[in-house]
Amino acid sequence: MSTITYLTRIEFGEGEVKRLPEFLKLLGVTRPLICTDKGLVATGLVARISGLIEGASVVFDGTPANPTEDAVMTASALYKSEKCDGVIGLGGGSALDLAKAVRLLTGHEPPLAQYTLVAGGVQRIHGRICPMIAIPTTSGTGSEVGRAAVIITAEGRKLGIISPHMLPSIAICDPELTYGLPPGLTAATGMDAMSHCLETYMASAFNPPADAIAMDGLTRGWRALEKAVADGKDKAARNDMMVCALEGAMAFQKGLGAVHALTHPLGAIRQLNLHHGTLNAVLTPAVLRFNRPVIGAKWDVLEKFFGEAPDVAIAKLNARIGMPKGLATMGVTDEMMRHVAKDALKDHCHATNPRIATEEDYYAMLQESL
């Protein structure tokens, strides 16, 4: 077991979830709302977690694959009607982000759009909100240690609500909870984590600690992802992937970039409902090529790390772990790409890419990823 305090408190280790009652007591929570999804309910994990809680707990299992403001409002109404006093996010990034948004509404009035970064929302968010415990069951978003909740707002835009106050009170990172993750989801969430490490490392802001953390996360992900996909019970690989995910999110306080500026509006396309990590995997090679002229020595570092050009290495890894060959196979059309290229300019990750893209640049990257 390890206790880590970096941005927020992290309890890391196999079996750590059993300490949930201890952490709830520490935070003064007696009736938590568990925000999760129906898939995890079906596995029995939600019942297992509920069984650890002394007294009553309430479950909201309506988290969509890409969390929406409608779902947040439904969960928030349940929180209030059941007189809950804290939130537990249990699941992948979608459940954790939804839980963060529910927590936000325990001290703020809707709608959510006013709290998004692009609307200047960081100044409107305060810390007078309920406690939250984040329990990730995938190794991908790192939302358990992130300041953001990415939500499809009522207007249909997938936007980040970002503030230090959005950090969970405690993150319980128990690799054991990821042992049953299917190979495809292991691959997609793992590429999400690795894309965070890559984009953070390339971001131009001066932050050597973030760069070092990102490279450690990338090292762990690169050596472990294929092993975790091949054998979901490989303890060392699962441990490395959970560290990769949380380090990617620790580091991306520095800023992400064009991969996420594109995948956020792609994820907001309701008729497709595309997986965020899968989109990151498919788009990363094109974004690496776009950034190459401006990242200088960092390209050389990555080339030495991978043993070949970074974009080639990631494309080959995508193929080995079964990622889609391109956006076309995922149902993305040219008309959609035109809209996404425009919306990418409005995304909060656009400004922190090391090479600022135009609408045509974004469209070209999408075309390369087709």
pLDDT band at 2 (very low <50, low <70, confident <90, very high): low
Q: What is the mean pLDDT of residues 349-370?
A: 97
Q: Where in the chain is the domain with CATH 3.40.50.1970?
A: 2-177
C-alpha 99/C-alpha 149 separation (Å) is 9
Give the per-residue pLDDT at 148. Answer: 93
| Domain 180-368, CATH homologous superfamily name and number | Dehydroquinate synthase-like - alpha domain (1.20.1090.10)
Share of the chain above pLDDT 70, in %: 99
With contact defined as beta carbons under 8 Å apart, do 287 and 349 qualify? no
C-alpha 215/C-alpha 294 separation (Å) is 19
pLDDT band at 78 (very low <50, low <70, confident <90, very high): very high
pTM confidence score: 0.94
Q: Looking at the predicted structure, is the pLDDT value of residue 179 above 70?
A: yes
Fold annotation for 2-177: Rossmann fold (3.40.50)
Q: Where in the chain is the domain with CATH 1.20.1090.10?
A: 180-368
Identify the weakest region by mean pLDDT among 4-8, 181-185, 202-206: 4-8
pLDDT in tens, 240-283: 999 999 999 999 889 999 999 999 999 999 899 999 999 999 99
Q: Looking at the predicted structure, is the pLDDT value of residue 237 above 70?
A: yes
- Residue 60 phi/psi, 5° resolution? -110, 115
Kindly report the average pLDDT of the chain as a whole number. 96
pLDDT in tens, 18-67: 999 999 999 999 999 999 999 999 999 999 999 999 888 899 999 999 99
Nearest of 125, 47, 29 to residue 85 by alpha carbon: 29
The count of residues in the chain is: 370
